[in-house]
A = this chain, B = another copy of it.
Amino acid sequence: LKLEYLFPTGSFKDRGASLLISKVGELGIKEVVEDSSGNAAAAIAAYCAASRITCHIYVPEATSFGKLTQIRMYGARLVKVPGSREDTARAAFEAAEQTYYASHYWNPFFFQGTKTFAFEIWEQLGWEVPHNLIIPVGHGTLLLGAYLGFQELEASGMIKKIPRIFAVQSENCCPLFRIFHEGLTYLPQIAKKESLAEGIGIARPLRWKQIIEAVKSSGGTFLKVSEEEIVSSLRELSQQGFFLEPTSAAAPAALGKLINRGLIHSSEVTVVPLTGTGLKVADKIASNILDPSGKY
């Protein structure tokens, strides 16, 4: 387990945001637009605050209260968009015509930041590559960053082989899983259902071809996990002392499946990131996962 939720803003998105906003500052840009389900927005807003860059954040109306409060305190201009995650993306995209789009999935500099995930794993394992990575995937910001990082290590001759990448989606929103297993050559229209894993609830991932290609060429595969599996994994992790947002529980939930199916051996080194803190989504956790009687 790699504790990616211990970054200053509470998720791995600090990796990408710190690099992207440093670049934005270097270019002399004073105002940016971003849209996100919450974590990327919080990270972009924080690094913009630190760099005195005005930041307009578009989020879906249903975004967790903790994330909204955090974004507002960083001084960002928050725009709540009614409707789906995709409606939010459209609104931000239009706004971005007037300014700079500091998007965590459009902007390539974001991935240059998340690739540090690969370098850090390599360093922390004593300059060795793990056999497997299990990564939750929506727009693929962590997955593509990790792939890029390991590719660079391979190209420079520092490592011999890229780890196998197992990509995890929520059963309620799994376009990439379908493309991979049904052999589709297009992005399917899916009827997305609400999922507690809000961070990966992306019906139309922009870089779907790159994500599929990365997983395929690494020798990995795609898995999907149900809401029940996410909840049960989240509970179990909490009761081991890790308080996480539900999205973070998707990848650990897949680990057992991979071992059961013989795709991963327990003797292998497998890295599973825990991507975001539960403190951001206390409202959703309390109402969906804890005993609502509030007895304790």
Q: A residues engaging B (CB < 8 A)?
A: 3, 6-10, 42, 46-47, 49-50, 65-66, 68-70, 72-79, 235, 238-243, 277-280, 282-283, 285-286, 289-290, 296
A235 partner residues in chain B, CB cutoff 8 A: 73
**Cα–Cα distance between A283 and B283 once the two chains are bound (Å):** 10
Copies in the complex: 2
Given contacts A50-B241, A73-B285, 13 further A-B contacts (CB under 8 A): A9-B243, A46-B243, A47-B241, A69-B286, A70-B278, A73-B235, A73-B238, A73-B239, A73-B290, A74-B241, A74-B243, A279-B280, A282-B282
Closest 5 CB pairs of A and B: A50-B241, A279-B279, A73-B238, A69-B282, A78-B296
**A282-B69, A285-B69 known; A74 vs B238 contact (CB < 8 Å):** yes
Residue of B nearest to A284 (CB): B69
* A10 shortest CB reach to chain B, Å: 6
Residue of B nearest to A66 (CB): B282
Q: Quick one: which of B72, B285, B286 contacts A296, CB cutoff 8 A?
A: B72
**A74-B239, A279-B279 known; A8 vs B8 contact (CB < 8 Å):** no
A79 partner residues in chain B, CB cutoff 8 A: 296
Residue of B nearest to A295 (CB): B78
A10 partner residues in chain B, CB cutoff 8 A: 277, 279
Do the beta carbons of B3 and A6 come within 8 Å of each other? no
* A164 shortest CB reach to chain B, Å: 28
